[in-house]
Amino acid sequence: MTLVATPWQTVGPYFSIGMTWAGGEDLAAGRADAIEIAGRVLDGAGAAVSDAVVELWQADSGGRYAHPADRRNAAVDAGFKGFGRVGTESGGFRFRTVKPGRVPAPAIGGSGGSLQAPHIVVGVFARGLLRRITTRLYFADVAANAEDPVLALVPAGRRSTLLAEPEGKGHYRWDIRLQGPDETVFFTF
């Protein structure tokens, strides 16, 4: 019997080789309403991590996931993939996607039945991490953030680490900080 390491057991420094694919950054091919999210993965010293992998998983603009577990009887947006993955060889990442719609909230402290603010689930693989770390990206220009039950669980002083800032029409900037004083909030599941 031969034992082979699975991706989460493999530590870089060449972590992104073989984990990305052509077009993994474009979740909205041919869509006129696409937005762009760009940023960097930064280490504790503020230096760009050039061998990380960033994944996105999100709902479409109507709040539906391209996944069989989403049984809300509605078609997913045409031309939309709900998952993307890129490496940070250039020191940064860039995704072309759609701004997600609101999705039902999990039952947290009596919040069942409410809606979450538009958000994107983000996973990061990088050297020194034995498992993927997970966070969320919210959009700073969305009023519904004030009603989001998951975002409300994050201390007010740390919420800004989850907010992508608009940089012109359809462009957002969001850096992922792995450590340090402005470390991005990461979630455990």
CATH number, position 119 = 2.60.130.10
Residue 149 pLDDT grade (very low, low, confident, very high; cuts 50, 70, 90): very high
Task: Indicate if the pLDDT at residue 23 is higher than 90.
Answer: no
**How far is residue 26's CA from residue 24's CA, in Å, rounded to a whole number?**
6
Residue 151: which residues within 8 A CB-CB, separation 6 or more?
Answer: 117, 119, 136, 138, 145, 159, 162
The answer to whether residue 102 is domain-embedded is: yes
Mean pLDDT (whole number) for 26-51: 93
Cα separation, 25 vs 54, whole angstroms: 10
Give the global pTM.
0.86
Domain of residue 143 covers: 7-177
150-172 confidence digits (pLDDT tens): 999 999 999 999 999 999 999 99
**188 found inside a domain:** no
Q: Is residue 2 part of a domain?
A: no
Q: Tell me the CA end-to-end span of the chain in Å, nearest whole number.
A: 32
Kindly report, residue by residue over 72-120, the tens digit of the pLDDT: 767 777 778 899 999 998 889 999 999 999 998 877 665 567 899 999 9
| CA 184 to chain centroid | 12
Of residues 74 and 142, which shows the higher confidence score?
142
Q: What is the pLDDT of residue 14?
A: 46
- What's the confidence (pLDDT) of residue 128? 81
Q: What is the pLDDT of residue 36?
A: 97
- Residue 74 CA to residue 86 CA, distance in Å, equals 29
Output 111 or 143, whichever has higher pLDDT: 143
Structure tokens at 27: 């979740």
Comparing 163 with 13, the larger pLDDT belongs to: 163
Has residue 21 been placed in a domain?
yes
Report yes or no on 98 lying in a domain. Answer: yes
pLDDT digits (tens, 9 = 90+) for 56-65: 999 999 898 8
- Domain count of the chain? 1
In a domain, 187, yes or no: no
Cβ count within 10 A of residue 16: 21
pLDDT bucket at 22, cuts 50 / 70 / 90: confident
Give buried/exposed letters for 140-176 (b at 16+ CB in 10 A, else e): eebeebeebbbbeebeeeebebbbbeeeeeeebebbb
